[in-house]
A and B are shown apart, each in its own frame.
Chain A
Amino acid sequence: MALLQIAEPGMSAAPHQHRLAVGIDLGTTNSLVATVRSGMSVVLHDENGRALLPSVVRYHADGSTDVGYPAQAMQSSDPHNTIVSAKRFMGRGLRDLPGAGSMPYQFVDAPGMVQLKTVAGAKSPVEVSAEILKVLRDRAEKSMGGELVGAVITVPAYFDDAQRQATKDAARLAGLNVLRLLNEPTAAAVAYGLDNAAEGVYAVYDLGGGTFDISVLRLSKGVFEVLATNGDSALGGDDFDHRIYCWILEQAKLSGIKPQDARLLLTRAREAKEDLTAHPEVRITAVLSTGEMVDLTLGSEVFTEITRSLVNKTLVPSKKALRDAGLEVEDVKGVVMVGGATRMPQIQHAVGQFFRQEPLNNLDPDKVVALGAAIQANVLAGNRSGDDWLLLDVIPLSLGIETMGGLVEKIIQRNSTIPVARAQEFTTFKDGQTAMSIHVVQGERELVSDCRSLAKFELRGIPPMVAGGARIRVTFQVDADGLLSVSAREKSSGVEASVVVKPSYGLSDDEIANMLRTSQENARADMAARALREQQVEAGRLIEAIEAALHENGDRLLSAAERAEIDEGMASLRSALEGQDHLAIKEQTERLNHISETFAARRMDQSVQKALTGYKLEELEI
């Protein structure tokens, strides 16, 4: 007999068509899987009732693997073949990994991403992550009694496109359909239901086993935008264990201890740290292999004292993140705590003091990211009715194309929610133009030279027409994963060209923030530059048109005096063009337009005459 879950009103699934979806927190140290059961987000446990799966994979010579606790247990005895923290290598080349030399792995530099040499052959971080995901998928399918339709997988907010792509590849390798990648801080905020809370700014303080991340998010219209991220990739709960360990050595006057004793004391240190969350003091006892006895009592005050500098190390990035976002502490409406290390009372206290408010901590900080991802997966799999919100991502920088004079025409504005498609019509600049180069750029500035170039392609085979005659429709489309495709189509002939690009490729959040900042700082200068370029293009077009006309029939249609007047008008416009004053150019352009009006009228008359000559009135179809 199948076990059923309670559905939302009217959303009961037909038999065998349950839309089972999970959220996965693919962490550096531990990974988790969660789902929504009868309307409630829950983390799924393994056969032993454990929620966490250590993100550790051990390879055997026959290609089989151990994942999780059994692999973790072998970490020190088989370091080459036991891969920990594969997440740090995702989408990274060897030169992106400054600390690679101190790790126990034999790295192989492969194009795009490093690989790790194991007894089972070279493994990419994508393959290692896929092993972890496979175990989680298996656990989910056993727990839910069916095949998954998809998963939402969380990634750090600062992950770039290569790292995100690597995460998706790992999921595909594990046989998971990725509904969406979700930023970890956003997932945590969703778990706390902040997406239904008041609009405003929220901070997510994430202190994990080995990494610290602070993110500043803004919620508006149901969309979380990551305003700034900061952190320390080498700071986490393990450092607190180490401080206690050093304190034990100091207090017990131990030195030169054996590795197995060091491991024992580190374990005792971790236990002491965990106990201090609930108790004011703990007793630490151990018998070392040398027969020496350790019997100490650690009080929370001493613990706070010896870890004060570590706590302060998290507040510096927090300050920086706020500064990058251009915000003050008072602007933050809520603080979400993520990561097991945030259970420590001194951290709760320091964060509360820094943000001047009680942080949100009633959900399990180890699970909060997975719980939020599950809620999102449930929505994306279609288990909630249509009027419910759908959390969307936004594009961080505007996307546009280059137009004449090196100006940017923005087609999709920044902060548009994705997926999105926008089209705009452009035309040819010159008579008989048969090709058009389409230059796709990203950024907020007015001039192409100040923006980031993403792609260039050409639309060929435009039928020759007068300038402005062709109608070229340029369509920008960004899919749910942030992939941009641009296509151009000439309407009368139907010729088409297109290109696919990754708009955020290789751009870090810092660079994005920097691009935004310079666009704001230079707004006025950019406006002037734009006005100048526009006038220059306009003037150039006019001069070119008049020159062509003069060449064709200027001698026949103009008297010497009229000709001289036009020549003089062109000369003054040309000299104005040499300057930077867009108003002067505008004035001279208008003047030349005025001077050449008679000439233009005569040309018009003449061409009408030419067209009509030789026809009888009745032959004309009017």
Chain B
Amino acid sequence: MAVTLTEKAATHIKNFIAKRGKGVGLRLGVRTNGCSGMSYTLEFADELNDTDSQFESHGVKVLIDPKSLAYLDGTELDYAREGLNEGFKFNNPNVKNQCGCGESFGV
């Protein structure tokens, strides 16, 4: 089981954490809400939980709680630019369908 970051995503995350001045890494998760059942959460992590799975990718520590990991296994997190907008993008092989905006998904 693994979750990875693209190099571009890792560079941005390192930069954001440095600017923020604190944080041990990045926490990814899945919540059950949104129009297609699930949605992603993407947060700075200030502490580790005992049950967290940890992945190291391009020098960034990625933390995921065990429940979320089932839905995120194999995901690659990328940083993308679309027109004027830019941000993080989940390339998740588990997704079967997603809502129009892509913010929520089903597995």
Taking Cβ atoms with an 8 Å cutoff, the residues of A that contact B are 1-12, 14-16, 37-40, 44-47, 139, 142-145
How far, in angstroms, from A15 to B105 measured CA to CA in the complex?
10
28 A–B pairs (Cβ distance < 8 Å), ordered by A: A1-B90, A3-B87, A3-B89, A4-B42, A5-B42, A5-B87, A5-B88, A7-B42, A8-B43, A9-B43, A9-B44, A9-B45, A12-B31, A12-B43, A15-B35, A15-B39, A15-B99, A15-B104, A16-B35, A16-B101, A37-B87, A38-B13, A38-B16, A39-B19, A40-B19, A40-B20, A143-B86, A145-B85
Instruction: Name the distance in Å between A285's Cβ and chain B's nearest Cβ.
Output: 37
Q: Is the CB of A6 within 8 A of B84?
A: no
Report the nearest B residue to A1, measured CB to CB: B102
B75 to chain A, nearest CB (A): 12
In the assembly, what is the distance between CA of A336 and CA of B75, in Å?
A: 44
In chain A, what residue has the closest Cβ to B84? Answer: A143
What are the residues of chain B within 8 A of A15 when measuring CB–CB? 33-35, 39, 99, 101, 103-104
With A12-B31, A12-B42 known as contacts, the answer to whether A6 contacts B103 (CB < 8 A) is no
Interface status of B40 (Cβ within 8 A of chain A) = yes
Q: Is the CB of B19 within 8 A of A12?
A: no
Smallest beta-carbon distance A139→chain B, Å: 7
Chain A residues with CB under 8 A of B45: 9
Secondary structure of the B side of the interface? strand
Query: Distance (Å) between the CB of B106 and the closest chain A CB?
Result: 13
The interface residues of chain A lying within 8 Å CB-to-CB of B43 are 6-12
A39 and B83 contacting across the interface, CB-CB below 8 Å: no
A6 CA to B26 CA, complexed, in Å: 8
Per the bound structure, the CA–CA distance linking A144 and B80 in Å amounts to 13
Decide yes or no whether B67 CB sits under 8 A from chain A: no
Q: Does B50 make an interface contact (CB < 8 A)?
A: no
Number of A-B residue pairs at CB separation under 8 A: 96
Roughly how many angstroms separate A14 CA and B31 CA in the complex, as a whole number? Answer: 9
CA distance A114 to B35 in the complex (A): 50
Q: Report B-chain residues with C-beta under 8 Å of the C-beta of A6.
A: 13, 16, 26, 42-44, 88
The answer to whether A9 touches B40 (Cβ under 8 A) is: no
| A19 → B minimal CB distance (Å) | 14
- Going nearest first, the 8 A-B pairs with the smallest beta carbon separation are A3-B87, A1-B102, A15-B103, A12-B41, A15-B34, A143-B84, A2-B103, A38-B16
Contacts of A38 in B (CB 8 A): 12-13, 16, 87-88
Cα distance A308–B25 in the bound complex, in angstroms: 51
Smallest distance from the beta carbon of A312 to chain B beta carbons, Å? 38
CB <8 Å contact, B82 and A47: no
CB distance from B57 to the nearest CB of A (A): 15
6 further A-B pairs in the complex, CB-CB below 8 A; given A3-B86, A6-B88 = A2-B102, A2-B103, A9-B43, A9-B45, A15-B34, A15-B35
The answer on a CB contact under 8 Å between A3 and B82 is yes
* Chain B residue nearest in CB terms to A6: B42
Chain B, range 3-31, C-beta contacts under 8 Å to A: 12-13, 15-16, 19-20, 26-27, 29, 31
**Among B15, B26, B88, contact of A3 (Cβ-Cβ < 8 Å):** B88
The distance in angstroms between the C-alpha atoms of A609 and B44, with both chains bound, is 81
Q: A15-B101, A142-B84 are known contacts. Are A4 and B12 too (CB-CB below 8 A)?
A: no
User: Would A142 and B16 be within 8 Å (CB), given that A3-B80, A15-B33, A15-B34 are in contact?
Assistant: no
Shortest CB distance B85–A (Å):
5
A14 touches B46 (CB 8 A): no
What are the residues of chain A within 8 A of B31 when measuring CB–CB? 12, 14
> CA separation between A144 and B33, bound complex, in Å?
22
**Contact (Cβ within 8 A) A7 B41:** yes
CB distance from B98 to the nearest CB of A (A): 8
Q: In whole angstroms, what is the CA distance A538 to B101 when docked?
A: 73
Cβ of B30 to closest chain A Cβ, rounded Å? 11
| A-side contacts of B104, CB under 8 Å | 15
Q: Which residues of A contact B16 (CB under 8 A)?
A: 6, 38-40
Residues of B with C-beta under 8 A to A47: 84
Taking a contact as CB atoms under 8 Å apart, the answer to whether A14 and B88 are in contact is: no
Name which residue of chain A comes closest to B18, CB basis: A40
On whether the beta carbons of B19 and A142 are closer than 8 Å, the reply is: no
Which residues of chain A are near B89, meaning CB under 8 Å?
A: 1, 3-4
Assess whether A143 is in contact with B34, with CB atoms less than 8 Å apart: no
In the bound complex, how far is the Cα of B101 from the Cα of A11, in angstroms? Answer: 20
Q: A6-B13, A6-B88, A142-B85 are in contact. Are A39 and B44 (CB under 8 A)?
A: yes
Q: Do residues A142 and B35 form an inter-chain contact, with CB atoms below 8 A?
A: no
A6-B90 Cα distance, complex, nearest whole Å: 12
* Cβ contact within 8 Å between B86 and A7: no
A6-B16, A8-B44 known; A14 and B34 CB under 8 Å? yes
- Closest residue of A by beta carbon distance from B77: A4
Which residue from chain A places its CB closest to the CB of B88 in the assembled complex? A4
Closest approach, in angstroms, between the C-beta of A36 and any C-beta of chain B? 10
Nearest-CB distance from A393 to chain B (Å)? 26
- Closest Cβ–Cβ distance, residue B87 to chain A (whole Å): 3
Minimum distance in angstroms from B29 CB to a CB of chain A: 8
Contact A144 B85 (CB under 8 A): yes
